[in-house]
Structure 1
Amino acid sequence: MSIVADWSAEKARAFTRENLAFTHDLHQREMFSDEGLIEVLDRYPRDRLGVFTMGRDPVAWTSWRRGSAGDLSGAQLLDAAKQGRIWLNLRETNRHLPAYAALCEEIFAEKAARAPGLKTFKRDLGLLISSAEAQVFYHLDVALVSLWQIRGGKRVWVYPVEAPFAPQETLERIVLRETAEQFPFDPAWDAAAEVFDLTPGRMVTWKQNAPHRIVNGPMLNVSLSIEFMTPEALMRANVIYANAVLRRRLGARPRVQAGFTPLGLGKVALARGAKAIGLQKPDERVLPASFRLDPAAPGELLPA
Structure 2
Amino acid sequence: MTIIHDWTPEKAKAFGKENLVFQHGLHERPMFDDEGLARLLDRYPRELLGVFTMGEDPKAWTTWRKGSAGNLSGDQLLEAAKAGRIWLNLRHTNDHVPEYAALCDEIFAEKESKVPGLKTFKRDLGMLISSANAQVFYHLDVPLVSLWQVRGVKKVWVYPVADPYVGELALEKIVLRETAEQFAFDPAWDAGAQAVELTPGTMVTWKQNAPHRIENGPMLNVSISIEFMTPPALMRANVIYANGVLRRRLGANPRVQAGFGPTALGKLAVARGAKALNLQTPHVRHLPVTFGLDAARPGVLVEGA
TM-score range, shorter chain: over 0.9
Question: What SS does the corresponding residue of 1:196 show, helix, strand or coil?
Answer: strand
Structure 1 equivalent of residue 291 of structure 2? 291
1:61 is displaced (CA, Å) by: 0.3
1:296 is displaced (CA, Å) by: 1.1
Q: Deviations over 1:87-123 (max 9, x none)?
A: 0000000000000000000000000010020000000
1:144 & 1:37 partners in 2: Cα distance?
A: 25
Are 2:268 and 1:268 aligned?
yes
Are 2:256 and 1:256 aligned?
yes
Coordinate RMSD, CA, aligned: 0.4
- Within-5 A mapping of 1:115-264: 115-264=115-264
1:10 is displaced (CA, Å) by: 0.2
Structure 2 equivalent of residue 83 of structure 1? 83
Structure 1 equivalent of residue 70 of structure 2? 70
1:176 & 1:125 partners in 2: Cα distance?
A: 23
What is the TM-score with the length of structure 2 in the denominator?
A: 0.99
What is the TM-score with the length of structure 1 in the denominator?
A: 1.00
2:212 & 2:285 partners in 1: Cα distance?
A: 21
Structure 2 equivalent of residue 3 of structure 1? 3
1:58 & 1:214 partners in 2: Cα distance?
A: 9
2:295 & 2:115 partners in 1: Cα distance?
A: 47
1:167 & 1:47 partners in 2: Cα distance?
A: 35
- After TM superposition, the runs of 4+ consecutive aligned structure 1 residues lying more than 2 A away are none
- Within-5 A mapping of 1:48-63: 48-63=48-63
Amino acid at match of 1:144: L
Question: What SS does the corresponding residue of 1:40 show, helix, strand or coil?
Answer: helix
1:253 is displaced (CA, Å) by: 1.1
Extract unaligned runs of 5+ from structure 2.
none
Which deviates further from its counterpart, 278-287 or 117-126? Answer: 278-287
1:197 is displaced (CA, Å) by: 0.2
Structure 2 equivalent of residue 46 of structure 1? 46
Amino acid at match of 1:121: F
Question: What SS does the corresponding residue of 1:169 show, helix, strand or coil?
Answer: helix
Q: Deviations over 1:193-225 (max 9, x none)?
A: 001000000000000000000000000000000
Question: What SS does the corresponding residue of 1:72 show, helix, strand or coil?
Answer: coil
Q: Deviations over 1:49-85 (max 9, x none)?
A: 0000000000000000000000000000000000000
Question: What SS does the corresponding residue of 1:85 show, helix, strand or coil?
Answer: coil
2:178 & 2:172 partners in 1: Cα distance?
A: 9
1:283 & 1:138 partners in 2: Cα distance?
A: 20
1:36 is displaced (CA, Å) by: 0.2
Question: What SS does the corresponding residue of 1:172 show, helix, strand or coil?
Answer: helix
1:20 is displaced (CA, Å) by: 0.1
Are 2:100 and 1:97 aligned?
no
Amino acid at match of 2:290: S
Amino acid at match of 2:23: T
1:283 is displaced (CA, Å) by: 1.1
Question: What SS does the corresponding residue of 1:241 show, helix, strand or coil?
Answer: helix
Amino acid at match of 1:56: E
Question: What SS does the corresponding residue of 2:129 show, helix, strand or coil?
Answer: strand
1:169 & 1:210 partners in 2: Cα distance?
A: 15
Amino acid at match of 2:292: R
1:245 is displaced (CA, Å) by: 0.3
Extract unaligned runs of 5+ from structure 1.
none
Amino acid at match of 2:7: W
Question: What SS does the corresponding residue of 1:125 show, helix, strand or coil?
Answer: strand
1:247 is displaced (CA, Å) by: 0.7
1:45 is displaced (CA, Å) by: 0.0
- Identity over aligned residues, as a percent? 73
Amino acid at match of 1:59: K
